[in-house]
């Protein structure tokens, strides 16, 4: 037993002595890194200045701002000196005081409304100041004229005061249908009634022959009865006249003023009536009297264009002030 134990202990020692010893690898304190590890810290370093929320220098202001603000202030002074837009003129206020209509006018909005009760009817008249802004363009489109050309022609006519070609013009007398047959009229001369154009009227008490007509104001008249539907009329007020253009009838009053896509689609396929000009003349006259009894008359036709002009002036001054405040902010 002892010999076997000794053999078991001595054999491993002899084997380890027979095997040549390999040189031991020494540990180096120098850390060796790969090429990727060496380039990584350099690539991760930012090559730009870190973002900062602090503003070191103030941004440059617009160079046109002071000039624009001064121009807006100049326009405000001119408009305010021209007319007092804060106070309703006495002529316009007097109509409201004596009229059965109640005014609904919200500052900053184009549309204005007049409302009243007439028996079991509810009457609402709406109009917009946009008609005044679109007046010049509409007139030019209607007559197919260029306003610039009209001004040039007027200047030429005023300079020469003579028309050639035989046609009558203001300030000339027709001397026959021959070329160059007209000559200028001196102030002391007068024109015979037969030489005046047909349909023209000249007030002898006024210093001028023709007065400039007012612009056409479009009115939307809505007359409703409870459970009876609504009558809608497109009306134009100009020079004290109420001109009916169209008359519509709706069984449902909400279709007259369709404010949703569904209502607008529902009214498109409805037969609402023929054009007003296609109606019998007696029927046209009765419809005009129908409106006149409800206060849609000459007084209203004279008041609406004047009020549109006053409101547009007020809104324009407010617009100038708002723009100036924004520019100066």
Of 83, 122, 130, 82, the C-alpha closest to 100 is 122
pTM metric for this prediction: 0.61
**What does the alpha-carbon distance between residue 62 and residue 9 come to, in Å, rounded to a whole number?**
100
pLDDT at 271: 86
Of 112, 132, 126, the C-alpha closest to 232 is 126
CA Rg value for the chain? 45
**Burial tier of 45 (Cβ tally within 10 Å: 0-12, 13-18, 19+):** exposed
What angle in degrees, to the nearest 10, is found between the helix axes of 90-98 and 298-328?
Answer: 130
pLDDT at 193: 40
Please write the tens of the pLDDT for every residue from 237-259. Answer: 999 999 999 999 998 888 887 77
pLDDT at 273: 85
- Kindly state the DSSP code that residue 278 receives in the 8-state scheme: G
**What does the alpha-carbon distance between residue 329 and residue 63 come to, in Å, rounded to a whole number?**
14
pLDDT at 111: 95
What Cα–Cα distance (Å) separates residue 277 from each residue in 42, 246, 247?
Answer: 89, 8, 10
What Cα–Cα distance (Å) separates residue 246 from each residue in 22, 220, 276, 277?
Answer: 117, 10, 5, 8
Q: What are phi and psi of 164, to 5 degrees?
A: -105, 150
pLDDT-based confidence at residue 152 (cuts at 50, 70, 90):
low
Laid out side by side, the sheet with 121-128 consists of: 102-105, 111-118, 121-128, 217-225, 229-238, 241-250
**Rounded mean pLDDT of 23-29?**
48
Of 257, 283, 297, 320, the C-alpha closest to 76 is 320
pLDDT at 107: 92
Cross-strand partners of 224: 122, 230
**Burial tier of 260 (Cβ tally within 10 Å: 0-12, 13-18, 19+):** exposed
What Cα–Cα distance (Å) separates residue 170 from each residue in 184, 188, 200, 208, 264?
Answer: 9, 15, 12, 12, 50
What Cα–Cα distance (Å) separates residue 76 from each residue in 64, 69, 71, 320?
Answer: 18, 11, 9, 7
Task: Report the chain's mean pLDDT, rounded to a whole number.
Answer: 73
8 Å CB contact between 172 and 165: no
């Amino acid at each position: 037993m002892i010999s076997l134990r000794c053999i078991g202990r001595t054999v491993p020692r002899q084997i380890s002595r027979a095997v040549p010893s390999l040189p031991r690898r020494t540990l180096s304190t120098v850390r060796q890194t790969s090429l990727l590890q060496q380039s990584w810290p350099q690539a991760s370093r930012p090559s730009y200045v870190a973002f900062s929320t602090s503003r070191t220098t103030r941004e440059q202001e617009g160079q046109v701002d002071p000039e624009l603000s001064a121009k807006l202030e100049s326009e405000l002074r001119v408009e305010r000196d021209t007319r007092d837009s804060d106070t309703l003129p006495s002529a316009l206020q007097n109509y409201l005081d004596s009229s059965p209509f109640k005014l609904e006018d919200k500052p900053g909005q184009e549309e204005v409304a007049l409302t009243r009760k007439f028996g079991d009817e509810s009457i609402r008249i709406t109009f917009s100041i946009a008609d005044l802004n679109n007046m010049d363009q509409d007139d030019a489109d209607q007559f197919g004229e260029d306003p610039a050309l009209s001004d040039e022609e007027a200047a030429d006519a005023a300079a020469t005061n003579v028309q050639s070609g035989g046609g009558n013009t203001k300030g000339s007398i027709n001397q026959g249908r021959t070329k160059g047959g007209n000559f200028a009229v001196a102030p002391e001369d007068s024109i015979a009634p037969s030489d005046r154009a047909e349909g023209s009227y000249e007030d002898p008490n006024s210093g001028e022959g023709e007065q400039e007509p007012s612009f056409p104001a479009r009115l939307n008249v809505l007359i409703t009865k409870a459970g009876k539907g609504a009558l809608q009329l497109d009306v134009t007020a100009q020079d004290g006249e109420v001109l009916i253009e169209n008359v519509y009838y709706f069984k449902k009053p909400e279709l007259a003023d369709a404010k949703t896509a569904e209502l607008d689609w529902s009214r498109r396929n409805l037969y609402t009536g023929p054009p007003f000009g296609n109606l019998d003349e007696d029927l046209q006259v009765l419809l005009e009297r129908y409106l006149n009894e409800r206060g849609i008359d000459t007084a209203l036709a004279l008041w609406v264009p004047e009020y549109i002009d006053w409101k547009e002036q007020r809104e324009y001054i407010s617009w100038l002030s708002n723009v100036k405040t924004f520019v100066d902010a």
